[in-house]
Structure 1
Amino acid sequence: MNGVSTSVIAVCGTLAGSALTYLFARLTARRAEKAAREERLRQERIAAYAAFAGAMTALRQKMISLWLVRQRDQDVAEIRAAYTEADQCGAAADHARFQVRLLTEDAELLRLADAAFGPIAALGKAADRAELAGHETRSQEVLTAFVEAAGRQLR
């Protein structure tokens, strides 16, 4: 009888050890999966935020170029080409903003992404170079605020 109870205790101990090992392995795997998912999301956010900042910078440059072309030339073909380039950059910036929207729920970041378009739109309506420079500065300030908010989220 003593040998049977020893065997039963040994089997129960082995089963308990196996069960605990399985549970700990499963918890560890879940933690690793969660950490990997969070890191992938972080990397996607970095790429999207950087792409947005780059697209907005390119759009600002194209809008300034368009303004300058409209001020100095009456060549319809050159103005049309400048409009086309600015429009393409605008579409790329809008696409980048959609990516930002897909990857974050941060209200401040979303507000700043939307606000970044305001000063750029105002560039085309500038009456003179001083006003153009003011809109350009404001655009850079809003974009810098976006990048700083994005950096805080990513740290």
Structure 2
Amino acid sequence: MNAVWTSVVAVAGTLLGALTTGLLQRWAAHRAEQVARQQRLRDAAADLANALTDYRERLYWQTHLATLPDTAREKKEEAKRDSWAARSRVNHAMNRLRLATTDDRLLALATEARNATFAVQTDSVAPEAARERQHALLDAVARAAR
């Protein structure tokens, strides 16, 4: 009878050990996925911030060159193409952020930051005001993406 109880305890211990190991592995995999998701979100938010800053810089140079009378037409066209390419990178970064999160508040802040930067092109806002607005919104995006 002693051998039976020893076997029962051994089997129960093995089953509990397997269950515990399975639960720990599941928890570790879930945690790793959470960390990876957060990293993708931070990367997407950083890419958007970089793309917006790059676009604003290229837009500034495009506008600056347009105001200089002695600037060659080719330079102005090149600046315009660079600005358009940078704007496309902003849209790509925005799409990546949309795929990385479903957080409506974060997406609304990112959209506001994008719109504040794009507003410079319409001359509806002073570049300095747009820059300050963009910085404030990008700071809010960074805080929300943490």
What TM-score results when the alignment is normalised by the length of structure 2? Answer: 0.89
| CA displacement, residues 85-109 of structure 1 (integer Å, 9 cap, x when unaligned) | 1111111111111111111111111
Query: Which residue among 88, 94, 100 is the counterpart of 2:85?
Result: 88
Counterpart-to-counterpart distance in 1, 2:101 and 2:84:
26
Q: Match of 2:102, SS?
A: coil
Q: Say if 2:57 is the partner of 1:61.
A: yes
Amino acid at match of 1:104: T
- The structure with more radius of gyration: 1
Provide the residue aligned with 1:139 in structure 2. 134
Do the aligned residues in 2 keep the contact of 1:63 with 1:120 (CA within 8 Å)?
no
Counterpart-to-counterpart distance in 2, 1:52 and 1:103:
12
Superposition pairs of residues 114-153 of structure 1, within 5 angstroms = 114-126=111-123, 131-150=126-145
Do the aligned residues in 2 keep the contact of 1:48 with 1:100 (CA within 8 Å)?
yes
Provide the residue aligned with 2:14 in structure 1. 18
Q: Match of 2:126, SS?
A: helix
Instruction: Give the number of equivalent residue pairs.
Output: 145
Do the aligned residues in 2 keep the contact of 1:64 with 1:124 (CA within 8 Å)?
no
Q: Match of 1:61, SS?
A: helix
Counterpart-to-counterpart distance in 2, 1:134 and 1:40:
36
Q: Match of 1:116, SS?
A: helix
Counterpart-to-counterpart distance in 1, 2:44 and 2:66:
32
Q: Say if 2:39 is the partner of 1:43.
A: yes
Structure 1 position 139, deviation (Å): 2.3
Counterpart-to-counterpart distance in 1, 2:97 and 2:15:
44
Provide the residue aligned with 1:108 in structure 2. 105
Question: What runs of 5+ residues in structure 1 fail to find an aligned partner?
Answer: none
Structure 1 position 78, deviation (Å): 1.7
Counterpart-to-counterpart distance in 2, 1:6 and 1:41:
52
Counterpart-to-counterpart distance in 2, 1:39 and 1:117:
27
Amino acid at match of 2:60: I
What TM-score results when the alignment is normalised by the length of structure 1? Answer: 0.84
Counterpart-to-counterpart distance in 2, 1:72 and 1:134:
23
Provide the residue aligned with 1:70 in structure 2. 66
